[in-house]
Chain A
Amino acid sequence: MTTDDTAQGGDEAEAAVAEPVDALEDTIWPSVNRALSAVDVRPERGALDLIVHVPRANVVRALRMLKQDDELQFNYLRSLTAVDNEADGVDVVYHLYSIPKNLNVTVKAMLPPDDKVLGTATTVWQAANWLERETAEMFGVRFTGHPDPRTLLMPEDMTDTFPLLKSHPFAEIELLQGELLGHDRNEGDRE
């Protein structure tokens, strides 16, 4: 939908945490809340989709509940990735979509920076297989129980450095253009 007609209702949602729960009436939060009643989750209003924060321990259980809930039926894992928030750990983000119901939700699990371990979602969707391999090699997140924990894009032996972490430096440019002039080229013969 175009960005102008906001389907989020009139009031402008202020900081996520202090949001009154009923302000999310127009999103799918009520049905998600009912589906995930066994898990304590914290909703948040995203720019486009509803965001649900789930504690690390029972993420896979929550995902399975969302998938098997017959009113929601999130049977399609759109994308799985991680966001490095430096001090306060790494967020693993699951974007789910329900094809029959045409619904979207984002599930986020927060991992502490020192112990980045999480259950694998391949038991819920096969799509998670490669996505988890890529997240693992890029962020250093270890998905326990992953059927094939090899690197995906990186060379096989590069399992110690994690490029997409904020701590991984940008490579310096080898030679600034000016210094290349050290290459002895007499002026004027170019034409």
Chain B
Amino acid sequence: MKGIMKSLAVTMSTFMRRPVTRNYPTVHRELPERDRAFPLLLWDQDIDEPFCTGCHACERACPVECMTVLMKDNPNHEAQGGTSKRRKIVDEFWIDYGRCMRCNICVEVCNFEAIAMNNTWRGHEMSVYDRADLVMDLPQLMSQSKAKEIDEWVAD
């Protein structure tokens, strides 16, 4: 019976300890800065346009091919009297969050630092009823960064 008494002692000792439950929906745990929810595009606040120039680097590097990018000439370019130095700008950009495996390779290959991993809770709370709604188009991808909700972390 000694062993059974020992087991009872262990459970009694945990009876005395403070519960470790995190009340998720009511209390949102503070996410580490490196948290990788889903990739999203970053907004260049001072020239008021996305960093992304639509160069397809991430689209080619993606293992699961969950991105589609279209490029166009930048109307806001200096040659046409605009303020931006980017000659090309992203026209259309879709990421299928249903296929993305969050491996962070797109962030590593992007040489304009235009894409980063969403490290906010909104990036995690993405449940939808229809799989097609998981395909994020350009406005959706840029919405959080445009609203300055993202301080992105990108490995140096």
Do A and B touch each other in the complex, judged by CB within 8 A? yes
In the bound complex, residues from chain A placing their C-beta under 8 Å from that of B94 are 177-178, 180-181
In the bound complex, residues from chain A placing their C-beta under 8 Å from that of B78 are none
Interface centre among B66, B92, B95, B137 (most CB of A within 10 A): B137
Q: How far is the CA of A183 from the CA of B140 in the complex (A)?
A: 16
A7 CB–B CB distance under 8 Å: no
Interchain CB contact under 8 A, B139 and A180: no
How big is chain A's contact interface, by range? Answer: 10 to 19
- Within 8 Å by CB of A178, from B65, B92, B140, lies B92
Interchain CB contact under 8 A, B143 and A177: no
**A-facing residues in B119-140 (Cβ within 8 Å):** 130, 132, 135, 137, 139-140
Considering only CB atoms, which chain B residue lies closest to A173 in the complex?
A: B65
B116 CB–A CB distance under 8 Å: no
- Within 8 Å by CB of B143, from A173, A176, A178, A191, lies A191
**A-facing residues in B41-98 (Cβ within 8 Å):** 65-68, 70, 92, 94-96
Interchain CB contact under 8 A, B139 and A177: no
Q: How far is the CA of A183 from the CA of B135 in the complex (A)?
A: 11
Q: How far is the CA of A177 from the CA of B93 in the complex (A)?
A: 9
In the bound complex, residues from chain A placing their C-beta under 8 Å from that of B65 are 173
CB distance from B60 to the nearest CB of A (A): 14
A34 CB–B CB distance under 8 Å: no
With known contacts A173-B65, A176-B68, A181–B135 Cβ distance under 8 A: yes
Q: How far is the CA of A151 from the CA of B131 in the complex (A)?
A: 33
**B-facing residues in A165-182 (Cβ within 8 Å):** 173, 176-178, 180-181
A187 CB–B CB distance under 8 Å: yes
Interchain CB contact under 8 A, B96 and A190: no
- Within 8 Å by CB of A177, from B68, B130, B140, lies B68
In the bound complex, residues from chain B placing their C-beta under 8 Å from that of A185 are 132
In the bound complex, residues from chain B placing their C-beta under 8 Å from that of A176 are 68
Q: How far is the CA of A181 from the CA of B137 in the complex (A)?
A: 9
In the bound complex, residues from chain A placing their C-beta under 8 Å from that of B70 are 178
Interchain CB contact under 8 A, B140 and A180: no
Q: How far is the CA of A173 from the CA of B135 in the complex (A)?
A: 14
Interface centre among A177, A178, A187 (most CB of B within 10 A): A177
In the bound complex, residues from chain A placing their C-beta under 8 Å from that of B140 are 190
In the bound complex, residues from chain A placing their C-beta under 8 Å from that of B66 are 177
Q: List the interface of chain A (C-beta within 8 A of B).
A: 173, 176-178, 180-181, 183, 185, 187-188, 190-191
Sampled A-B contacts (9; CB under 8 Å): A177-B67, A177-B94, A178-B70, A178-B92, A178-B94, A180-B96, A181-B94, A183-B130, A185-B132
A-B pairs with lowest CB-CB distance, top 4:
A177-B94, A177-B68, A177-B96, A183-B132
Known: A188-B139, A191-B143. 6 other contacts (CB 8 A): A177-B68, A177-B94, A178-B68, A178-B92, A180-B94, A187-B139
